[in-house]
Structure 1
Amino acid sequence: MQLFGTQEIRNNQFYMGGVSMEELKETYGTPLYVMDEQALTENMRLFQESFRHERLDTEVIYASKAFMNRAMVRLLKDSGLSLDVVSGGELYTAAKEDFPRERIYFHGNNKSPEEIAYALKEGIGTFIVDHELEFQRIALLLKGDRRPQRILLRVNPGIEAHTHEYISTTKNDSKFGLSIFDEATADFIKKMASDRRFDFRGLHCHIGSQIFEEESFLKAAKTMVEYMRTLSEKGVQVRELNLGGGFGVHYVQGDEPLNLNKLFEKLLAQLYTLLEKENLLPVKIMIEPGRAITATAGITLYEVGSVKKTFGGMHYVFVDGSMADHIRTALYDARYTAKLTGRMMDPQSDTFRVTGKACESGDILVKEVRLPLPRPGELLAVFSTGAYHYSMASNYNRLTKPPVVFVKDGGSRLVVRRETYEDLIRNDL
């Protein structure tokens, strides 16, 4: 199997950040989200160093929906990355760590008046406007003599990316943004650009997630520049172009993520050539990685409860987690790699389905994985769970959410505590 960051095998045992999984179990229990702190910071640095061009201003904005808590915000703050938030709760988390407001971008297709008012009060840098009614809502909540509010408009360039339909975001019927093929979109942009209460900076697009095709990103960039030329002919200057994220990561054998250094070199070179040719410079170019920073930096650690083979021939491994802490298999039919952390190199005896304790037939964590015959009490790690696992965790079946631990240099630290039964009823009346 492929190892990432500080992951290693010592004497048939799995380690991450120099820490054994047995040590983590003894200290924190299971289920447990484990994040490689060094890998997180190195991935942030990779994006900062790779997404650069000698003649273009660039910015890397972390998509916080992938994985967010106060410890993660502190890492991002120190790294110099900017931050994308999509809710009042994400903004509140960033504000509690005094994340620089000018580096915060507020996304979402249905920001509530309360969220908009809160963001304005906090003085966030930029709203990503989704549609005209939202623009009007923001305008109504602007108060007093203040600087013009920076905004971008999310648009849909209609690029087909080969990914799961639930995470493809630029189909013509997508709920996000406005189509560049609708003439009314350009009229709306002219309206925003002429409103002195706002500082219209430009455009945002995002073609989907978990994309392995270089051509999808290059085509999106070319299409957006063509639309910028159309807007320029109508008298609107685009000064910022945000191309979103979607950079695919490794989950299982056969996944082939793009070489980001090569992708960004080609992407930025293409953009500069096109922008110069169309006399559209200067333009800042932005991207929004989330999964690509956190996914392979995380694992989820479980304890095996039992093994069962059904009359129909299905060989199950039951663990002490569930779809409540690992929803992506049920939600997206996502695939994962799993290993018994104490027998990493042992011969595989059979194909197993890893399932949890939720009262659902669809409570599947890993559909198929080759393992040695698991024994009750052994530890099983599911890999590449650093994105959208902690973020999507729920209390279904009144299960408590696992804690989050950062590991680094042979040590570990708790950054999110394990929920208790008392936490489950805290808001009950």
Structure 2
Amino acid sequence: MTSIPHGTPGHPDPLRALDLARLRRRTSMKWRTYPEDVLPLWVAEMDVPLAEPVVRAVTDALALGDTGYPAGTAYAEALAAFAADRWGWSGIDIARTAIVPDVMLGVVEMLKLVTGPGDPVVVNPPVYPPFFAFLTHLDRRVVENPLDPALRIDPASLEETFRELTADGGRAAYLLCSPHNPGGTVHTAAELATVAALAERYGVRVVADEIHAPLVTPGTAFVPYLSVPGAERGLSLMSASKGWNLPGLKAALALAGPGARADLDRLPEEVGHGPSHLGVIAHTAALREATDWLDALLAGLDANRALLSDLLAAHLPAVRPYPAEATYLAWLDCRALGVGDDPAAAFLERGRVALSSGLPFGTGGAGHARLNLATTPEILTEGVRRMAAAVA
């Protein structure tokens, strides 16, 4: 895949549009979980106004009373056009797509297609905590294969895990987080091709969570898993949810490689009843009409990453941020602070700033915290000030 350059022709930075007073009027999880004296920099919600094309599409639908059940392929067609333009990938076959309620429920449905109760599913910790919760609820056995110290996939370790899990001829799957959350690693084409080759060698089915795909740093190339050689039997989940701040408008797409179409064809019809029709409308509008907004957001996120680095160097030099190539979630190594395995607890109790604890991310999470930098520069600055005060 090649990185396609995009500009921000006059579109204002969405991260500079809202002040704290307006944000505190929101009633979503980010702004209602903690008391008002806590500054929330944790869960993956962005402090931005919605892109105007998305607002217009949803309000037009409401004005029409168009609030029924989802139908058609407009969402898949919009994603295919976005993928071709943004990632130079024309490999989305609309016939090998299905609308699912959201990415994690889509992951569950894909794993139901290729594994059975008690089968192992490999994950790369530290990794998105719902992976553990959803897999356990699904009655699958979570097998950790930790990332290396640079937060990249270790192919030798992955191969050994695949070999052990399939030695008796049993089924296994690999739940790939791409780009990786936390840490923001963007897996390269070579790394993903190695994953595909190993999966084929050992009969492991790959399900890729690619929800953060639109959120790569300028100059970084996102590589869809299904685009690499050997990934023909892979399954992927994509969505506009993270890129355009639409988690409350539920809709995602399951994609199948050419060798996995028969698996996707077994997806129960009722799964398609779960997505929100308004969600499908919103996600379609985002992918089709709000790419200028996305580009302005990406520029703002890049500025916030630089700001966070400067703030930590000035006020918390013992905290090391991992260099991120994607997402708006900064993974912070706080072990040198000497506040124990859960630095987020100290930041919350003593500084009244909420970050995500590293502990639920699995192996490698102790002593770490995840910070959501998709906010205003002023809020980010105040957040780091409070973190520093908490350990002064």
The TM-score, its normalising length taken from structure 2, stands at 0.37
Question: Greater relative contact order (Cα 8 A, min sep 6): structure 1 or 2?
Answer: 2
The TM-score, its normalising length taken from structure 1, stands at 0.34
Structure 1 or 2, whichever has the larger Rg, is: 1
Q: Relative to total residues, which structure has the larger strand share, 1 or 2?
A: 1
